[in-house]
Amino acid sequence: MDRRKAANPGIPYGSFIYVWIVTLCTALPISSLFPFLYFMIRDLNVAKRTEDIGFYAGFVGASFMFGRCLTSTAWGIAADRIGRKPVVVFGIFSVVVFNTLFGLSVSYWMAIATRFLLGALNGLLGPIKAYAIEVCRPEHEALALSLVSTAWGIGLIIGPALGGYLAMPAENFPGVFSPDSLFGRFPYFLPCLCTSIFAAAVLISCIWMPETLHKHKVRENENQSIEALEAPLIDPKEKVEESGSLDTKKSLFKNWPLMSSIIVYCVFSFHDMAYTEVFSLWAESDKKYGGLSLSSEDVGQVLAVTGASLLVYQLFVYPRINKVLGPIKSSRIAAILCIPILFAYPYMTYLSEPGLSIILNIASVIKNNLSVTIITGTFILQNNAVPQNQRGAANGLSMTAMSFFKAVAPAGAGIVFSWAQKRQHGFLFPGDQMVFFLLNVIELLGLILTFKPFLAVPEQYGRN
C-alpha cells in the first residue's frame, strides 16, 4: 500500500468506490424501516392504543443498535488481526440474510430478533473507516472520510425513502402487485428485498476489493533484510510513531484525543438517531396529535430530496468548508444552526399545502446536511488520533459506544414521543414541542462538548 500511494499521488478513485458502496450497504438497512415502522407495528397488533405505537416502534428501532453495541469492538479487533476485507465481506453477507428475513416478519418478536442479529453481525462501519484512511495519501484523508459520512448520510436518507415508496405495494400500486401475491401478504418485504439485492451485488464486487492490512510471518534472521528493503518507503516520522505505538497498543482508553472525540460523536449520533425516528413518527401521525398527517410515500419523497442534496453537499461543498474552517469549527457552526431549525419543526403543523411541502423539504435538507458536517468532523478527529495499527480497534470502540447511544435513542425517542402525544394541552412545551425541545437540549450538550477543556484534539487541529 505504501508503494502504491507513493507511485500514485492522485485520488484513488477505485478504492474510494469500494468505500462508498460498502458504507452505503451498511447504512441502508439501519433506518429504511422508519417510514413504515408506524404501520408495521399497527399491523402486527401489538399496540392496544394508537398512542402506544411509538412506544413499541422504539424497541424495534433500538434492537439493531443494541446488537451492534455488543459486537463492534470485537469486529474492530478482528479487522486489525485478520484484515479489513474478511470482516467487510461477512458483514455484507449478514445484511443480505437478516435484512431479507426482517421484511418477512410475521410477529413483533421476529422483527426484533432479526434486527438484533443484523446489528450484531454487521461490523462494517469501523473497518471501512480505517480502510478509507489507509488507501489514500494524507492530503486526501478529509475526502476519504467525507465519502464515508456522505454514503452513511445518504444511506440513512435513501433507506427511508425506499421504505416509504415501496412499503405496502399492494395498496399503493394495485395495478402491479396483487393483494394475494407475496408482496401483498408481506407488505414490508419489497423495500427490504431491494436493499438485500444491492447488498448481494456489493458482496460479489468485493471479490476484487484490495486488502490494506498485510501481516507477513517471517523468520527472525529475515527481519533485518526486510526492514532494509522497506526503509526507503517509510517516512522517518511514521517510523518513530509506529515504534511508539507499540508501547501504547493497549491504551486506547488513555488516549484522550480519541476518547473525547468518541464521546462527542456519541452525543451527536444519539441526537441524529432520535431525530430520524421522531421525524417519521411525527410526520405520519395525525394533525390532532400535532403531526402532519403525511403518508409513508410523502415522507419517502422528502427523504429522497434530502439524500440528493447530501450527495452534492459532501462531494462539492464540505471539502471546501473543511479546508477553510477545519473539522472542529465547522462542527460547532453546524450545531449552532441546527437549534433554530429544530425549534421551528412543531409549528409546521399549522401550514397547508403547498407551503408545507416546500418548508419541510428545505428544513430537512438543511438539518441533515448540518448533521453530516458534524459527524464527518468527528470521523476526522478520531482517525487522526491513533496510528494505523490501532485504527480498526479504535473505530470498533467508537462503533460500540455509538451503537449503545443509538440503541437507547430510538427507544427513548419512541417513549417520549408517545408520552408527548398524550399531553396536547400541557403547560410547558405541549405535545410534540416537548420532543423537539429535548432534541435541542441534546444538540446544545454536543455543542458544549466541542470546546476545551473537554475536547482534546490532535496537534494538526490544535489551532481550532
61 within 8 A of 403, measured Cβ to Cβ? no
Please, where in the chain does CATH 1.20.1250.20 lie? 1-212, 253-463
**What is the C-alpha separation between 61 and 246, in angstroms, rounded?**
40
Percent of the chain topping pLDDT 90: 29
- How distant is the alpha carbon of residue 80 from its chain centre? 22
- With b for 16 or more beta-carbon neighbours within 10 A and e for fewer, the 273-282 pattern comes to bbbbbbbbbb
Q: What separation in angstroms does the CA of 454 have from each of 264, 342, 374, 448?
A: 9, 25, 17, 9
Position 47 pLDDT exceeds 90: no
434 within 8 A of 240, measured Cβ to Cβ? no
Question: What's the grid cell of residue 325?
Answer: 474552517
Pick from 11, 9, 65, 4: which is nearest to 33 by CA? Answer: 65
**What is the C-alpha separation between 424 and 79, in angstroms, rounded?**
50
Position 230 pLDDT exceeds 70: no
**What is the C-alpha separation between 320 and 215, in angstroms, rounded?**
36
Q: Among the listed ranges 144-148, 279-283, 324-328, 434-438, which one has the minimum average pLDDT value?
A: 144-148
Model confidence at 290, in pLDDT bands (50, 70, 90)?
confident
Length of the chain: 464
Ramachandran assignment for 431, one of left (phi > 0), alpha (psi -120 to 50 degrees), beta (any other) = left
Q: What's the pLDDT at 383?
A: 77
- The CATH label, of 3.90.1150.10, 1.20.1250.20, 1.10.20.60, 3.30.56.10, for the domain at 253-463 is 1.20.1250.20
* Rg, the chain, Cα only: 23
Could you tell me the pTM of the whole model? 0.73
Pick from 104, 87, 93: which is nearest to 204 by CA? Answer: 93
The top-scoring range by mean pLDDT among 172-176, 337-341, 395-399 is 337-341
Question: Which pLDDT tens digit goes with each residue over 312-352?
Answer: 887 788 888 988 998 899 999 999 999 999 999 999 988 88
The one-letter amino acid at 416: V
Question: What's the grid cell of residue 338?
Answer: 441546527
What contacts 288, CB < 8 A, 6 or more positions away? 424
Model confidence at 436, in pLDDT bands (50, 70, 90)?
very high
264 within 8 A of 406, measured Cβ to Cβ? no
Q: What's the pLDDT at 153?
A: 73
* Mean pLDDT score of the chain: 83
Q: What separation in angstroms does the CA of 272 have from each of 269, 386, 406, 407, 446?
A: 5, 26, 8, 12, 11
**What is the C-alpha separation between 149 and 319, in angstroms, rounded?**
12
The one-letter amino acid at 86: P
Architecture of domain 1-212: Up-down Bundle (1.20)
Q: What's the pLDDT at 337?
A: 96
Model confidence at 228, in pLDDT bands (50, 70, 90)?
very low
Give the pLDDT mean for 275-300.
Answer: 85
Query: Element (H or E) spanning 260, and its range?
Result: helix 256-284
**What is the C-alpha separation between 101 and 356, in angstroms, rounded?**
36
Question: Which pLDDT tens digit goes with each residue over 129-151?
Answer: 888 888 877 777 777 877 887 78
**What is the C-alpha separation between 436 and 337, in angstroms, rounded?**
15
How many degrees, rounded to 5, is the angle at CA 417 between CA 413 and CA 420?
A: 140
